[in-house]
Structure 1
Amino acid sequence: MEQNEIDEILDRPYSRELLARDLTRLAYVAKDGTPRNVPIGFTWNGSEIVMCTATNAPKLRALRHRPEVALTIDTEVHPPKILLIRGRAELDVVDGIPEEYLQMNGSYEMTAEQRVEWEAGVRSLYDGMVRIVVTPTWVKLIDFETTLPTAVEELVRRQAERQNA
């Protein structure tokens, strides 16, 4: 997929709305060869999806071995809005707490006092974290208004061909 196609899809209003959400589902292949799909907080910096995790997270070993990932960001309403993203995970070990981690947890409903307690707890728990950075190499927005899942698009095309025959 060309970068201009990726940029055009990610700039659509529904995509921007989805990229502002709190959670994505990160799919990867575990070391034993079986698939994994885990919810994880993220932030979008305008060109990359950034997720943060503990330095001892099992997914890191798998991502070092096979960095290809797929992400899904979606809504819980009907019709759903779904943003599918593929790319390669780049791992960046950092001392302390990455600013992105604090940002991605900023939209949870917390009082100011709860936020202070939460941040103090995070800072006392983690000596460092790993930033999982994914630059999209393929994207698809499914909004059920202007775009559909590929299989449904094919069925619609076939139906139109039958009706026009």
Structure 2
Amino acid sequence: MESYEVTEVLNRPLSQELLARDVARLAYVAKDGTPRNIPIIFAWNGSTIVMSTPKNAPKLHALSENPMVALTIDTEVHPPKILLVRGRAELDYVDGIPDEYLQATSTYEMTPEQRVGWETEVRSLYYDGMVRIVVTPTWAKLIDFETTLPSPVEELIRQREERQRA
């Protein structure tokens, strides 16, 4: 997929709504060769998807060996709205708490007092920093089940139309 095609998909209004959500599912290949798919908070900065994780997270070893990932960001309603993204993860070890981590959790419903307590806890837990997992999308597909469908379903519809014409 060409970069301008990825940009076109990601700039659609529905994609922007999905990219404003706070949880995605990150798929990657673990060190033992088996697939993993985990929920993780993220932030979209207009060009990359940024996730943060503890420095001792097992996924870091796997991603340093095989940085290719896939992400799914979707809704919980019918019909679902789904944004599929693929890319390469870059690991950025940082001191302190990444701004994107705090940004991604800003939508959580907390009172101001709860937010202060939560941030204090986070800062004490990750006192030696975190790792930013930065994914630049290289492929993207938006599925809304109204104007776009999964490719196999589109193919089945085409085949059905051909049968009906015959």
| Residues 44-98 of structure 1, C-alpha deviations (whole Å, 9 max, x = no match) | 0000000000000000000000000000000000000000000000000000101
The aligned residue for residue 159 of structure 2 is 158
The aligned residue for residue 2 of structure 1 is 2
The aligned residue for residue 20 of structure 1 is 20
SS state at 1:46 partner: coil
Measure, in 2, the Cα distance between the counterparts of 1:12 and 1:146: 12
Percent identical: 75
**TM superposition shift of 1:145:** 0.7
The aligned residue for residue 35 of structure 1 is 35
Measure, in 1, the Cα distance between the counterparts of 2:97 and 2:138: 27
Output the amino acid matched with 1:97: I
Output the amino acid matched with 1:70: A
**TM superposition shift of 1:161:** 1.2
1:72-91 counterparts in 2 under 5 A?
72-91=72-91
SS state at 1:84 partner: strand
* Unmatched tracts of structure 1, length 5 or more: none
The aligned residue for residue 144 of structure 1 is 145
The aligned residue for residue 62 of structure 2 is 62
1:54-133 counterparts in 2 under 5 A?
54-126=54-126, 127-133=128-134
Output the amino acid matched with 2:165: N
Output the amino acid matched with 2:160: Q
Measure, in 2, the Cα distance between the counterparts of 1:13 and 1:98: 27
**TM superposition shift of 1:108:** 0.4
SS state at 1:62 partner: helix
**TM superposition shift of 1:109:** 0.3
The aligned residue for residue 135 of structure 1 is 136
The aligned residue for residue 45 of structure 1 is 45
| Residues 10-69 of structure 1, C-alpha deviations (whole Å, 9 max, x = no match) | 111110110000100000000000000000000000000000000000000000000000
After superposition, the CA RMSD in angstroms is 0.5
* Unmatched tracts of structure 2, length 5 or more: none
SS state at 1:118 partner: helix
Output the amino acid matched with 1:24: A
TM-score relative to the length of structure 1: 0.99
**TM superposition shift of 1:143:** 0.3
**TM superposition shift of 1:164:** 1.9
Measure, in 2, the Cα distance between the counterparts of 1:96 and 1:54: 11
Measure, in 2, the Cα distance between the counterparts of 1:155 and 1:100: 41
